[in-house]
């Protein structure tokens, strides 16, 4: 019987059979007696395997866990041969943007940055490319790229990788839409409690094998405790997401109606340029939004330091609501992020407390 993802994330990755423990334990082990499938701790661990089983089932592929989201992404980018070509968005997660710049500078790859919301431009830039990287919704501008149309238009030889960190497999299934690879920072919504760093790639069996070899050779293995916590986070993902997503929409609506706000970027708002596409390719609009207040950078800084429920901190996807001025970093500015842009990660607190907190902080920011 095929099970729903909400069931798979609760029931998957557990020992079975009479007398079995209900939970896969935290396995702390670096070596194995000879004669078995695994020889050394860098090649596998039961706790990682339990997490990977669940992620693979959810995404419809094989999962390979890494020590962080950026380690997972780096392993995927390393599938491109030296001197190969990568197409990436003009605006996306700044850590990867910086890494791609470094790859170009050191001669490891040719990088073409392109507006990922313009499918024709992506496909044009992708001619002869080894890999196209998209991130949808993107961090922090919440741009939506058309996964199915890009997958459909690419040559067979060009890999399509999607960073699905903002969506998790519950809201978007890139492999089913035709992508070859989906990457998550499990540090964020999947882990969900701001207490671990981990990444995961889901893909077809041969590519997963190459990624496992990469992990073994280059060593970006997840910690067992992190894998245990990430799996524990996955167990409650469906209910966390439901609440956080409803909170995000309510916050976006409040911001959309405020006279102190210039604009709000949330794909769940009908006037977001990617709304129709997001509605088609996502099962929900997610927990992230960005906005700009009137009054520029100073007002933005005032707002972020005036909140009492939202923590003024970077990162995203946890049970706790966070807010930060995102546009004040050098690499964000270089990508064209407005200097006063604020990025907000909705948590699972009571919506009325979040709305009241945001409202009072907007008043303080505006009054100067
Ligand atoms: C969209 C996205 N992808 C990847 C990463 C990198 O993940 P990690 O911090 O787990 O290395 C981040 C981190 O913020 C992110 O926002």
Kind of pairing between the strands at 62-66 and 131-135: unpaired
CB of 199 closer than 6 A to ligand 1?
yes
Task: Catalogue all structural domains in the chain, each as residue range(s) with its CATH number.
Answer: 5-17+31-235 (3.40.640.10), 239-367 (3.90.1150.10)
CB of 138 closer than 6 A to ligand 1?
no
> What is the tens place of the pLDDT at every residue in 7-37?
999 999 999 999 999 999 999 999 999 999 9
What's residue 299's pLDDT? Answer: 97
CB atoms within 10 A of CB 352: 9
Rounded Cα–Cα distance for residues 191 and 226 (Å): 9
Which of 58, 304, 316, 327 shows the shortest CA–CA distance to 202?
58
Rounded Cα–Cα distance for residues 262 and 257 (Å): 10
What's residue 353's pLDDT? Answer: 98
Which of 73, 92, 201, 87 shows the shortest CA–CA distance to 144?
92
Pocket of ligand 1, candidates 65, 66, 70: which has the most ligand atoms within 8 Å of its Cβ, to mutate?
A: 70
CB of 44 closer than 6 A to ligand 1?
no
Q: Find the angle CA(87)-CA(91)-CA(96) to the nearest 5 degrees.
A: 65
Distances (CA, A) of 257 to 94, 127, 340: 29, 43, 19
What's residue 368's pLDDT? Answer: 77
Helix residue ranges per DSSP H, the chain: 5-11, 46-59, 69-77, 94-105, 119-125, 147-153, 168-171, 205-218, 224-235, 237-257, 275-281, 296-306, 330-334, 351-367
CB of 139 closer than 6 A to ligand 1?
yes
CB of 292 closer than 6 A to ligand 1?
no
172 CA distance to ligand 1 middle (Å): 17
In the structure encoding, which two tokens stand for residue 299, read together? 């007002």
143 CA distance to ligand 1 middle (Å): 16
Pocket of ligand 1, candidates 72, 162, 183, 187: which has the most ligand atoms within 8 Å of its Cβ, to mutate?
A: 187
Sheet of 159-163: strand order equals: 62-66, 199-203, 181-185, 159-163, 131-135, 84-89, 109-114
Which residue's alpha carbon is at the smallest distance from atom 7 of ligand 1? 69
Counting beta carbons within 10 angstroms of the beta carbon of residue 17, is it exposed (0 to 12), middle (13 to 18) or buried (19 or more)? exposed
1 CA distance to ligand 1 middle (Å): 35
Distances (CA, A) of 275 to 118, 167, 270, 272: 15, 15, 6, 5
Question: Catalytic pick from 53, 130, 146, 163?
Answer: 163
261 CA distance to ligand 1 middle (Å): 27
CB atoms within 10 A of CB 287: 31
Sequence-distant (≥ 6) Cβ neighbours of residue 295 within 8 angstroms? 260, 302, 340, 365, 366, 368
* 308 is a catalytic site residue: no
Q: pLDDT tens string for the chain (368 positions)?
A: 789 999 999 999 999 999 999 999 999 999 999 999 999 999 999 999 999 999 999 999 999 999 999 999 999 999 999 999 999 999 999 999 999 999 999 999 999 999 999 999 999 999 999 999 999 999 999 999 999 999 999 999 999 999 999 999 999 999 999 999 999 999 999 999 999 999 999 999 999 999 999 999 999 999 999 999 999 999 999 999 999 999 999 999 999 999 999 999 999 999 999 999 999 999 999 999 999 999 999 999 999 999 999 999 999 999 999 999 999 999 999 999 999 999 999 999 999 999 999 999 999 999 97
What's residue 2's pLDDT? Answer: 83
Rounded Cα–Cα distance for residues 184 and 210 (Å): 18
CB of 135 closer than 6 A to ligand 1?
yes
Q: pTM above 0.75? A: yes
* 93 is a catalytic site residue: yes
What's residue 169's pLDDT? Answer: 98
73 CA distance to ligand 1 middle (Å): 9
Q: According to the 3-state scheme, what is the secondary structure of 289-339?
A: EEEEECCHHHHHHHHHHHCCCCEECCCCCCCCCEEEECCCCHHHHHCCCCC
Rounded Cα–Cα distance for residues 75 and 215 (Å): 8
For residue 40, what are the β-bridge partners? 31
* 279 is a catalytic site residue: no
* Helix and strand totals (H; E) in the chain: 14, 12
In the structure encoding, which two tokens stand for residue 255, read together? 């911001």
* 260 is a catalytic site residue: no
CB of 70 closer than 6 A to ligand 1?
yes
């Amino acid at each position: 019987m095929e099970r729903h993802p909400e069931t798979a994330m609760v029931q998957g990755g557990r020992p079975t059979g009479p007398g079995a423990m209900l939970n896969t334990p935290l396995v702390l082990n670096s070596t194995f007696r000879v004669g078995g499938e695994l020889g050394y701790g860098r090649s596998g661990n039961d706790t990682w395997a339990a997490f990977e089983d669940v992620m693979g089932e959810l995404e419809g592929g094989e999962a390979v866990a890494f020590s962080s989201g950026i380690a997972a992404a780096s392993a995927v980018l390393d599938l491109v041969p030296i001197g190969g070509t990568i197409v990436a968005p003009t605006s996306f997660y700044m850590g990867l943007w910086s890494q791609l710049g470094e790859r170009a500078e050191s001669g490891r790859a040719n990088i073409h940055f392109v507006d990922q919301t313009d499918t024709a431009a992506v496909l044009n830039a992708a001619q002869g490319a080894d890999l196209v990287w998209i991130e949808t919704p993107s961090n922090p501008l919440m741009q939506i790229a058309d996964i199915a149309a890009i997958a459909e238009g690419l040559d067979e030889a060009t890999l399509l990788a999607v960073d699905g960190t903002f969506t998790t497999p519950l809201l978007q299934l890139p492999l089913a839409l035709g992508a070859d690879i989906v990457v998550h920072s499990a540090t964020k919504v999947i882990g969900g409690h701001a207490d671990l760093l981990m990444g995961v790639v889901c893909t077809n069996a041969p590519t997963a094998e190459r990624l496992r070899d990469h992990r073994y050779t280059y060593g970006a293995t997840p910690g067992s405790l992190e894998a245990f916590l990430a799996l524990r986070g996955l167990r409650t993902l469906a209910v966390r997401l439901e609440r956080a997503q409803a909170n995000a929409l309510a916050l976006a609506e409040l911001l959309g109606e405020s006279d102190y706000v210039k604009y709000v970027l949330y794909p769940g708002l009908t006037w977001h340029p990617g709304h129709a596409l997001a509605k088609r390719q996502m099962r929900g609009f997610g927990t992230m939004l960005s906005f700009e207040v009137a009054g520029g950078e100073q007002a933005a800084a005032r707002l972020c330091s005036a909140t009492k429920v939202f923590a003024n901190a970077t990162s995203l996807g946890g049970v706790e609501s966070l807010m930060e001025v995102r546009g004040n970093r050098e690499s964000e500015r270089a990508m064209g992020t407005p200097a006063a842009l604020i990025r907000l990660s909705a948590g699972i607190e009571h919506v009325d407390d979040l709305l009241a907190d945001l409202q009072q902080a907007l008043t303080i920011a505006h009054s100067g």
